[in-house]
Amino acid sequence: MKGRAFAFIAISFLFSLRACADVIPTTVTPEQLVSFTYGGKASRDLLPSWKTEHHGTTVATFTDPTTGLVIRCETRRFADSNAIDWVVWFENTGKSDTPLLENIRPLDLSIPTEPSDSPVFHYSKGSVVGPANDDYMPKELALKANASLDLPGEKIPSQAFLPYFNLQTKDGGVVGAIGWTGQWSLHVTRDGNNVHLQAGQQLTHLVVHPGEKIRTPRIVLLQYKGTDPTVGYNQFRHLMIDHYLPRIDGQVLTPLTCMLDITTGLLVPPAGQQIRDIDRVAKLGMEAYWLDASWFPGDFRFDVGSWVVKRDLFPNGLRPISDAAHRDRMKFVLWIEPERVGGPNTIIAKEHPQWCIAKREPWLDPETGWPGHPNEMMFNLGDPDARKWMTDFLSQKIDEWGIDVLREDRNFHPVRYWRANDAPDRQGISENFYVQGFYAMWDELRARHPKLIIDSCNWRNTGPDIEVMSRSAGAWTRSEVADCGRLPIANQLAVMGLSLYIPTHANGVFSLDPYAVRSGAIQGAGMEIRQMPKQDDAQLAKMIAEIKRIRPLTLGDFYPLTPIDLGETHWAAWQFDCPELGGGFATFLRRAHCSNASVTANLRGLDPRTQYDVQISPTYDVGPTERMSGADLARLDVQIAGAEKSVLVTYQRVTSKQETGR
């Protein structure tokens, strides 16, 4: 039984990959999949002497008989996907501190390639709100001899890159995900003919106290066949949809169409005006009403932590707002930022200072330009008592205020607090406990409130890792680039870059123009429409109806039809094809300085011998239906007369009964 615990993971992995090309080697030794150093010794040298036990087919533990460190390996395989998921836990069951545990890498895998092979590593930017406006831009690295890549870099927030990748070789590839809402790291290198992947929490250099338990990031790997990386992306999208995205009543949660009732300067109107706004937009088909920041006293940038209602705006509290939304069959969305405490004068800081972690120096946020409050603190979800208190508080307010969608923000990079809070022999422990507490709070809220939707508000600081995506869905999550998505091309880039891996996402809408809306609103949107005159309501209703009409089709395959770039002289086009629904749609956008009035698109996923009912819509009015063969639709000529204009093409497979009936 000795040394078989990590081998158990490897065998499970290889069993699930047996049907594929040999991208993963046919034999994997324990130390090739997970690695760490313990008391100065490498795991590969320690494991053979540790006691190993198997619990069913997906869990193995092994124990150091000297120190009492227990390592629990939890794996998950999928009958309908060539993928594996695993997490590793480390628990000190002894009576004294463990030796130093460091460099924990839950993914440590060598993949052999042939000398003639030219593997390519695909990865993507995250959200950084930089001047390039290129959030989620796909990137690639040709893995020539001795090529290497380190993500994200030692002092760069990990959300600056997506925690997903696609390693493409000549016969197939591997799509991977790193599930960690903290500071993860990924190292890729080609040494000789091997591609080596290492991933985990960026910094682990710590002793574990008696009774403590830490975990690794979740690792998900999916292997696919063939030379087209799009095949891997779409298999991974289906894995996410079928096994990870949260559901209510069996339905996958997707972004909603939400009215954001906020004025310039982040001011909210009085309750009476908000109730009138709810009545207006409910008639147009809007699905949710969203009360954003500034419902509590002070400036939301600096005074978070006093979660009480502004009585001058809401004399009867927030319940009348949610009641009005519910009467109109809309959901009530409330913004809150429980992880940040604005300063010592806030209620939480006064009543629970022991749960507030301070940073050690003032700062200027390099992304937003906002001056950091010198006394700003982080609410420590890594403390079990603090996490329980915040969970109970939020749960109480969900009931008291009638919250359907809890929009949770994070307007800071917590890594600076975690690192400042750690002793030299405990580096990484604050982050590990905090991330565990973060997941535990969301899991407990969802368990207490089965209909609750958690909206992960700010991917600039939380990131859409697979752990976040398995617990949340939102209406305005992608990016705050260009003042929260007012640039159509930046939105187009975000749609195309994210959709390679992530099936659900949305951003803000500030215009009724189809070009601007179609550039970003594929499933839902947060809409700042209070300033729009009521004579635009008919157009607004059509816009909402279009988003809701195409939304189900997004839970299928995704195909970029043009290069994913920011070129203002180019077209942007993409396709969502949903085999389960027998249809799909393609969006075509002619950018501002594009001189070409037409483009020929090669639509994918179609049966050339099947007939399809096709509708081509330059506006929100649904175009006339035309019957086309799959062969003709697969090579579609699209014309747009004028820059910054768009066309939506929807198609539906014609059944045999429909064909004979016409």
Do residues 345 and 297 touch, judged by C-beta distance below 8 A?
A: no
Q: Which of 218, 243, 268 is the last residue of a domain?
A: 243
Q: Are residues 129 and 210 in the same domain?
A: yes
Do residues 263 and 532 touch, judged by C-beta distance below 8 A?
A: no
Extract the tokens encoding 442.
């969301």
**Residue 371 DSSP class:** B
Is the pLDDT assigned to residue 25 strictly greater than 70?
no
Rounded to 5 degrees, what angle do the CA atoms 156, 496, 108 make? 45
Q: Which domain holds residue 108?
A: 5-243
Do residues 210 and 96 touch, judged by C-beta distance below 8 A?
A: yes
Extract the tokens encoding 297.
């006293």
Work out the burial of residue 532: count CB atoms within 10 Å of its CB; fewer than 13 is exposed, 13-18 middle, 19 or more buried: middle
Do residues 166 and 124 touch, judged by C-beta distance below 8 A?
A: no
Which of 368, 479, 415, 435 shows the shortest CA–CA distance to 136? 479
- Considering only residues 355 and 7, tell me which one the structure prediction assigns the higher pLDDT: 355
Q: Are residues 13 and 135 in the same domain?
A: yes
- Considering only residues 189 and 32, tell me which one the structure prediction assigns the higher pLDDT: 189
Q: Which of 227, 243, 259 is the last residue of a domain?
A: 243
Q: Are residues 454 and 578 in the same domain?
A: no
Is the pLDDT assigned to residue 205 strictly greater than 60?
yes
Overall average pLDDT of the 276-296 stretch = 93
How far apart are the C-alpha atoms of 225 and 229, rounded to whole Å? 9
pLDDT band at 210 (very low <50, low <70, confident <90, very high): very high
The pLDDT, as a whole number, for residue 13 is 41
Q: What is the pLDDT of residues 70-103, one digit of tens each?
A: 999 999 999 999 999 999 999 999 999 999 999 9
**What is the number of other CB atoms lying within 10 angstroms of the CB of residue 369?**
8
Is the pLDDT assigned to residue 507 strictly greater than 70?
yes
Is the pLDDT assigned to residue 363 strictly greater than 90?
no
Query: What does the buried/exposed string (b/e) look like for 491-509 if buried means 16 or more CB atoms within 10 Å of the residue's CB?
Result: bbbbbbbbbbbbbbbbbbb
How far apart are the C-alpha atoms of 288 and 260, rounded to whole Å? 9
The pLDDT, as a whole number, for residue 660 is 46
**What is the number of other CB atoms lying within 10 angstroms of the CB of residue 190?**
22
**What is the number of other CB atoms lying within 10 angstroms of the CB of residue 534?**
8
Q: Are residues 234 and 257 in the same domain?
A: no
Do residues 166 and 224 touch, judged by C-beta distance below 8 A?
A: no
> For residue 638, is it within any domain?
yes
Percent of the chain topping pLDDT 90: 75
How far apart are the C-alpha atoms of 198 and 360, rounded to whole Å? 32
Q: Are residues 425 and 373 in the same domain?
A: yes
How far apart are the C-alpha atoms of 625 and 603, rounded to whole Å? 18
Q: Are residues 303 and 201 in the same domain?
A: no
Helix (H, G, I), strand (E, B) or coil at 179: strand
> For residue 499, is it within any domain?
no
> For residue 516, is it within any domain?
no
The pLDDT, as a whole number, for residue 32 is 52
Is the pLDDT assigned to residue 401 strictly greater than 70?
yes
Q: Are residues 38 and 172 in the same domain?
A: yes
Q: Are residues 325 and 194 in the same domain?
A: no
Q: Are residues 644 and 573 in the same domain?
A: yes
The pLDDT, as a whole number, for residue 22 is 45
Q: Are residues 453 and 579 in the same domain?
A: no
Q: Are residues 79 and 120 in the same domain?
A: yes
DSSP bridge partners of 519: none
Q: Quote helix, strand, coil % in the chain, to nearest 5.
A: 25, 30, 45
Q: Write the CB contacts of 181 (distance below 8 Å, at least 6 apart in sequence).
A: 435, 438, 439, 462, 463, 465, 467, 468
* Phi, psi (rounded to 5 degrees) for 577: -120, 125
> For residue 492, is it within any domain?
no
Q: What is the pLDDT of residues 528-539, one digit of tens each?
A: 887 788 889 999
Number of helices (H), then strands (E), belonging to the chain: the values are 16, 39
- For residue 438, the Cα-to-chain-centroid distance in whole angstroms is 15
CATH (domain of 438): 3.20.20.70
Residue for token pair 């629904």: 581
Q: Which of 243, 258, 274 is the last residue of a domain?
A: 243
> For residue 134, is it within any domain?
yes
Is the pLDDT assigned to residue 23 strictly greater than 90?
no
The pLDDT, as a whole number, for residue 10 is 43
Q: What is the pLDDT of residues 544-553, one digit of tens each?
A: 999 999 999 9
Is the pLDDT assigned to residue 486 strictly greater than 90?
no
CATH (domain of 572): 2.60.40.1180
> For residue 320, is it within any domain?
yes
- Average predicted confidence (pLDDT) for the chain: 90
> For residue 600, is it within any domain?
yes
**Residue 22 DSSP class:** T
How far apart are the C-alpha atoms of 435 and 439, rounded to whole Å? 6
Q: What is the pLDDT of residues 230-258, one digit of tens each?
A: 999 999 999 999 999 999 999 999 999 99
- Considering only residues 145 and 626, tell me which one the structure prediction assigns the higher pLDDT: 626
In the sheet with 525-527, reading across from the earlier edge strand, the strands are: 453-456, 405-408, 331-336, 288-291, 257-260, 525-527, 507-509
> For residue 504, is it within any domain?
no
Please report, for residues 335, 534, 646, the alpha-carbon distance to residue 62 in angstroms, rounded to integers and kept in the order given.
44, 66, 59
If phi > 0 it is left, if psi is from -120 to 50 it is alpha, else beta; for residue 340 that is: beta
Please report, for residues 3, 135, 499, 539, the alpha-carbon distance to residue 162 in angstroms, rounded to integers and kept in the order given.
34, 10, 12, 36
The pLDDT, as a whole number, for residue 365 is 54
Q: What is the pLDDT of residues 592-614, one digit of tens each?
A: 999 999 999 999 999 999 999 99
Is the pLDDT assigned to residue 490 strictly greater than 90?
yes
How far apart are the C-alpha atoms of 559 and 574, rounded to whole Å? 6
- For residue 399, the Cα-to-chain-centroid distance in whole angstroms is 27
Extract the tokens encoding 635.
């090579």
Antiparallel, parallel or unpaired: β 583-590 and 571-578:
antiparallel
**What is the number of other CB atoms lying within 10 angstroms of the CB of residue 558?**
24
Predicted structure pTM score: 0.94
Is the pLDDT assigned to residue 340 strictly greater than 60?
yes
Overall average pLDDT of the 128-146 stretch = 91
Q: What is the pLDDT of residues 429-479, one digit of tens each?
A: 999 999 999 999 999 999 999 999 999 988 988 999 999 999 999 878 788
Q: What is the pLDDT of residues 613-659, one digit of tens each?
A: 999 999 999 999 999 999 999 999 999 999 999 999 999 999 865 65
When mean pLDDT is compared across 96-100, 212-216, 257-261, 398-402, the lowest value belongs to 257-261
The count of domains in the chain is 3
How far apart are the C-alpha atoms of 63 and 292, rounded to whole Å? 49
CATH (domain of 160): 2.70.98.60
**Residue 344 DSSP class:** T
How far apart are the C-alpha atoms of 75 and 221, rounded to whole Å? 11
Q: Are residues 278 and 386 in the same domain?
A: yes
